[in-house]
């Protein structure tokens, strides 16, 4: 199996710096006449590239969606999923530690602003309590992460 990337560019000159990358999981086979063919196993999603870069947020959303789609394809076992994830990351770079930490800080800032907009201040103790309580939270799907 391999990933077929279809790249679509914006036709509008004002947004010419935006491209869309569609990822298809494809396998090669030979037909009855022994001719090589390819068949699409599944569509893994798309990701937007702006000014030649894939944003950290869009990369992570793409990875999560692609993983969930692969989990829904019975023909793909765990070791093949790992190989496919490696292929994906040849085109779409994984997040680094700094990007993840920046996203985490931004989420805390967003949560704090959201609470303050409702007149509910957020203390450092509450943030720690939220973080410590996440491992017991039944609403967090650790299997799907």
Hey, where are the domains in the chain?
Answer: 1-94, 96-136
Average pLDDT over residues 17-39: 92
- Would you place residue 69 in the very low, low, confident or very high pLDDT band (cuts 50, 70, 90)? very high
Stated as kind and residue range, the H or E segment containing 78 is helix 78-91
pLDDT of residue 127 exceeding 70, the answer is yes
The closest alpha carbon to 145, from 52, 63, 28, 81, belongs to 63
- Would you place residue 138 in the very low, low, confident or very high pLDDT band (cuts 50, 70, 90)? low
Kindly state the percentage of the chain with pLDDT values over 90: 61
CA distance 43 to 73: 11
Q: What is the pTM of this model?
A: 0.74
Contact 88, 63 (CB under 8 A): yes
- Would you place residue 142 in the very low, low, confident or very high pLDDT band (cuts 50, 70, 90)? very low
CA distance 118 to 63: 33
């Amino acid at each position: 199996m391999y990933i077929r990337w279809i790249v679509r560019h914006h036709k509008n000159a004002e947004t010419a710096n935006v491209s869309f990358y569609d990822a298809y999981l494809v396998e090669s086979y030979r037909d009855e006449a022994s001719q090589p063919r390819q068949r699409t196993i599944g569509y893994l999603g798309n990701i937007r590239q702006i000014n030649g870069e894939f944003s950290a947020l869009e990369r992570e959303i793409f990875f999560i969606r692609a993983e969930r789609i692969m989990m829904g394809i019975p023909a793909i076992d765990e070791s093949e999923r790992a190989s496919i994830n490696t292929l994906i990351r040849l085109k779409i770079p994984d997040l680094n530690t700094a990007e993840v930490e920046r996203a985490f800080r931004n989420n805390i800032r967003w949560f704090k602003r959201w609470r303050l907009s409702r007149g509910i201040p957020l203390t450092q103790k509450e943030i720690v309590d939220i973080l410590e309580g996440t491992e017991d939270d039944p609403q967090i799907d650790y299997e799907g992460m």
